[in-house]
A and B are shown apart, each in its own frame.
Chain A
């Protein structure tokens, strides 16, 4: 194994294969470098975030008045379908995979993912799925109009009778994104199990890596169900099989089981990396160890296990027998226990710390406060009698967006700001970042809080028009929605200008613990000249505890870092 260091190319920014471009062009190649792929994922998905956001603006524009007067009902139905599909399958999943891709190998002291080519293939399927989905606007009949659940029989109704229609393209896109995610999951799980650097035992592995592992295990067991369900739906739609079509003897409720068996745990696939981000960002900016690190790490795996048996809480009203309602009510509420452990741990982490309100810290704190609220309304929804009233109303939409935007998107922004100096080698503008946070946080409350009273009053989700009694809260939600749209402007401005013109950041601008801070910013192609040897658990704030036995990048990093054990000072290494 000592040979490995001899093979390290001389030039720090050399590329994985001869002739590979060493500039911006590498982001448009079939690069196998996990860092290039990570950025490809993040940038591509952010483009789709803007598309999905634009759809949301039109939706809120329609809902600012009770009548269906801005766009035709079919267009409204297509837009909420595409909004949900894009935001989940082309923004939240891929951007988190992108962050994981960039960070996991660095955090565990590896040079790349376990299967670099598979990694590149997984990424390049995302633009394919995106193009298919966008192309559905051009086919006769327009895009799918059956909601992001695509429940049959509505999804099997094909008004134009064409074989190539929006629903078929939708199913293909979702199936491709599913296959991409399964390949990604194989890669992540293998990497995390097999490629942690020497000395990095499970309880020396950062909480973010635990969270990514927990999330990717869900992908492995859950996605085959969704992909299988999607293929059955495709067969029903194209060649006339009868899995779900009631007029041919099929059972539409069966589809809901296939769909939710994956799609509820999918929420944990998205929220676990967000939890992992909170667990990484808080200790750095509060200068304290993560409180109860082992329990927080292990609770991620507990969520993976419980989430395998909660899916029917989406189906309390779907002709579900009482015993099933009761069983899934109890399992659903149990998720609150590991989630609670995390929230309490985070609060205890900031308690008594030396808190700095940097942009990533603000987004993390804001995300946690939103998650607390969303978690509590989630327990309401788990209760069968309450859910029988608010099921399929705006209460659910409000809860869901507090999770997806309030907690997860906030965590994504926290992660982007926190690791921006590492990824680009430059500092972002703090003022623009704080403006972004202020607009996003106020926008979130204005948009999604009013949805809760709307739901309790009985406004169904997915309506293009509504009764006058709902107008008041809808106007507030729409104005908040437009504010959320505006909040992305300072973000884009910040990211683009800082990447080009920002001040040089240095290797460890936050003085943070973690292997990713022991390499250059941006990291060299191989990340580390020598594989680091980990000698202590993470988050050693306030205890002068070195993380590694020797400098993994002796040529490029100063050896005086507090993360590296100083051989001369401590004669007895562990």
Chain B
């Protein structure tokens, strides 16, 4: 009987471990493409959490369901179960193991955070390379993301971009060429530093393919860094609720080869600034034209709103606006 229990537990443990590994591998497919070096770091960390989380989930839910299936009372059995009030050893184990586990997970998160070397608003003493070097040995996971960040920093100066968020538009300014755009363009394999400003309320600067987000706070200039490593067009979303047209405050982030990026900048600089299309302003104007406040195609009318800021005047405007 004892032996059977041990074998059952071992077999279940092995199966749970296999399932957890499988889930950890699967977890990479739940995300948008890994378009920045940071996204790889986060996906690895997420996979670690998913694996452990699955194991804990199965470890608890397995015995739980086993008990629910096999320990039911017979229909006319009114007797009580065994009077077991506790077991000190078990209780010590299930306090100590989670404690060790969460401390390890916190440590792993800390190391990932360090590798990302995110520049926070008050991170005055910004440790780039030394920190990257010293944590490199620590994690068994792939260290290419760090090398990519490091290479990006060594091959070229950091690309500066001013980001302005307002109700409800994004404006990107490339200070060296004095180019403005409503679409974010970035060179691949270069570290990009955004300086985030808000003209009115809180916004959230969020490119899911880059995996990092940062609030944009009025009256504060927040520096924020990321390293794009994959060309393509990704969505940039406002992640902090910012009022009526919040959901429409989205645009594209285009990561290009360095040459293409330079050409884009030059072409944009040659354009005279014109008012760009703005989803919020256009919806609002349509509503005003109807005489009411609501859009014509909604079933239920709404209430008064803060009017959107006038459409931004920029050298370059995103081609098609796919905001739904």
Q: Inside 8 A of A341's CB, which chain B residues have their CB?
A: 91, 94-95
Q: Inside 8 A of B241's CB, which chain A residues have their CB?
A: 146-147, 151, 154, 392, 461-462
Contact of B323 among A160, A294, A352, A465 (CB under 8 A): A465
Which A residues have a C-beta under 8 Å from some C-beta of B? 66-78, 140-142, 145-147, 151, 153-154, 157, 159-160, 246-247, 252-253, 286-295, 317-322, 325-326, 329-330, 333-334, 336-337, 340-341, 343-345, 347-348, 350-357, 365, 368-369, 372-373, 376-377, 379-380, 382-386, 388-389, 391-393, 453, 456-458, 460-468, 511, 539-543
Among B123, B240, B283, max chain A CB count under 10 A is at B240
With known contacts A252-B217, A321-B122, A386-B46, A355–B67 Cβ distance under 8 A: yes
How far is it, in angstroms, between the C-alpha of A330 and the C-alpha of B99 when the chains are bound? Answer: 11
With known contacts A153-B201, A347-B60, A458-B206, A336–B102 Cβ distance under 8 A: yes
B94 with A355: CB separation less than 8 A = no
B120 at the interface (CB under 8 A from A): yes
A289 with B238: CB separation less than 8 A = no
Task: In the complex, identify which listed stretch (B73-81, B184-192, B259-267, B311-319) lies at the interface while the others stay far away.
Answer: B73-81
A386 with B81: CB separation less than 8 A = no
Task: In the complex, identify which listed stretch (B11-19, B155-163, B300-308) lies at the interface while the others stay far away.
Answer: B300-308
How far is it, in angstroms, between the C-alpha of A481 and the C-alpha of B116 when the chains are bound? Answer: 38
Residue of A nearest to B122 (CB): A321
Contact of A458 among B71, B208, B215, B243 (CB under 8 A): B208
How far is it, in angstroms, between the C-alpha of A259 and the C-alpha of B103 when the chains are bound? Answer: 27
B297 with A69: CB separation less than 8 A = yes
Contact of A352 among B46, B57, B81, B211 (CB under 8 A): B81
Q: Inside 8 A of B243's CB, which chain A residues have their CB?
A: 77, 145-146, 154, 157
> Which 5 pairs between the two chains have the least Cβ-Cβ distance?
A458-B208, A72-B302, A74-B302, A142-B303, A542-B83
Q: Inside 8 A of B218's CB, which chain A residues have their CB?
A: 153, 246-247, 252
How far is it, in angstroms, between the C-alpha of A277 and the C-alpha of B26 when the chains are bound? Answer: 36
Q: Inside 8 A of B53's CB, which chain A residues have their CB?
A: 376-377, 379-380
Contact of A78 among B122, B297, B303 (CB under 8 A): B303
Q: Inside 8 A of A71's CB, which chain B residues have their CB?
A: 298-300, 302
B106 at the interface (CB under 8 A from A): yes
A317 with B214: CB separation less than 8 A = yes
How far is it, in angstroms, between the C-alpha of A354 and the C-alpha of B306 when the chains are bound? Answer: 61
List, sorted by A's number, 19 A–B pairs whose CB atoms are closer than 8 Å: A69-B297, A70-B300, A74-B302, A142-B302, A160-B304, A286-B81, A288-B84, A291-B86, A317-B204, A317-B214, A329-B110, A353-B71, A376-B56, A379-B49, A379-B53, A382-B106, A464-B246, A540-B83, A541-B83
Among A159, A289, A388, max chain B CB count under 10 A is at A388
A457 with B302: CB separation less than 8 A = no
B90-103 interface bits toward A, Cβ cutoff 8 Å, 1 = contact, 0 = none: 11001100110111
Task: State how many angstroms separate the Cβ of B299 from the closest Cβ of chain A.
Answer: 5
A457 with B30: CB separation less than 8 A = yes
How far is it, in angstroms, between the C-alpha of A348 and the C-alpha of B113 when the chains are bound? Answer: 37
Task: State how many angstroms separate the Cβ of B239 from the closest Cβ of chain A.
Answer: 4
A73 with B81: CB separation less than 8 A = no
Contact of B303 among A66, A74, A320, A388 (CB under 8 A): A74
How far is it, in angstroms, between the C-alpha of A373 and the C-alpha of B60 when the chains are bound? Answer: 10
Q: Inside 8 A of A146's CB, which chain B residues have their CB?
A: 241, 243
Contact of A321 among B45, B121, B202, B248 (CB under 8 A): B121
How far is it, in angstroms, between the C-alpha of A125 and the C-alpha of B82 when the chains are bound? Answer: 47
Which B residues have a C-beta under 8 Å from some C-beta of A? 30-32, 39, 41-42, 45-46, 49, 53, 56-57, 60-61, 63-64, 67-68, 71-73, 77-87, 90-91, 94-95, 98-99, 101-103, 105-106, 109-110, 112-113, 116, 118, 120-123, 200-202, 204, 206, 208-209, 211-215, 217-220, 222, 235, 237-248, 250, 283, 293-295, 297-306, 322-324
How far is it, in angstroms, between the C-alpha of A66 and the C-alpha of B324 when the chains are bound? Answer: 7
A70 with B299: CB separation less than 8 A = yes
How far is it, in angstroms, between the C-alpha of A338 and the C-alpha of B324 when the chains are bound? Answer: 44
Q: Inside 8 A of A456's CB, which chain B residues have their CB?
A: 30-31
Residue of A nearest to B219 (CB): A246
Q: Inside 8 A of B57's CB, which chain A residues have their CB?
A: 372-373, 376
How far is it, in angstroms, between the C-alpha of A15 and the C-alpha of B214 when the chains are bound? Answer: 59
Task: State how many angstroms separate the Cβ of B202 from the closest Cβ of chain A.
Answer: 6
Task: State how many angstroms separate the Cβ of B106 from the closest Cβ of chain A.
Answer: 5
A383 with B79: CB separation less than 8 A = no
Residue of B nearest to A247 (CB): B218
In the complex, given contacts A372-B57, A388-B118, what are 6 additional A-B residue pairs having Cβ atoms less than 8 angstroms apart? A336-B101, A376-B56, A379-B49, A379-B53, A392-B206, A465-B248
A357 with B245: CB separation less than 8 A = no
Residue of B nearest to A156 (CB): B201
Q: Inside 8 A of A540's CB, which chain B residues have their CB?
A: 83
B305 with A354: CB separation less than 8 A = no
Among B72, B80, B200, max chain A CB count under 10 A is at B80
Q: Inside 8 A of B219's CB, which chain A residues have their CB?
A: 246
Residue of B nearest to A147 (CB): B241
Task: State how many angstroms separate the Cβ of A377 from the closest Cβ of chain B.
Answer: 8
Task: State how many angstroms separate the Cβ of B223 from the closest Cβ of chain A.
Answer: 11
With known contacts A320-B120, A465-B324, A350–B67 Cβ distance under 8 A: yes
Q: Inside 8 A of B250's CB, which chain A residues have their CB?
A: 467
Q: Inside 8 A of A141's CB, which chain B residues have their CB?
A: 303-304
How far is it, in angstroms, between the C-alpha of A67 and the C-alpha of B248 when the chains are bound? Answer: 10
How far is it, in angstroms, between the C-alpha of A501 and the C-alpha of B269 when the chains are bound? Answer: 80
Task: State how many angstroms separate the Cβ of A109 from the closest Cβ of chain B.
Answer: 22
Q: Inside 8 A of B323's CB, which chain A residues have their CB?
A: 465
Q: Inside 8 A of A330's CB, which chain B residues have their CB?
A: 103, 106
A352 with B67: CB separation less than 8 A = yes
Q: Inside 8 A of B204's CB, which chain A residues have their CB?
A: 317, 391-392, 460
Contact of B208 among A72, A389, A453, A462 (CB under 8 A): A389
Residue of B nearest to A373 (CB): B57
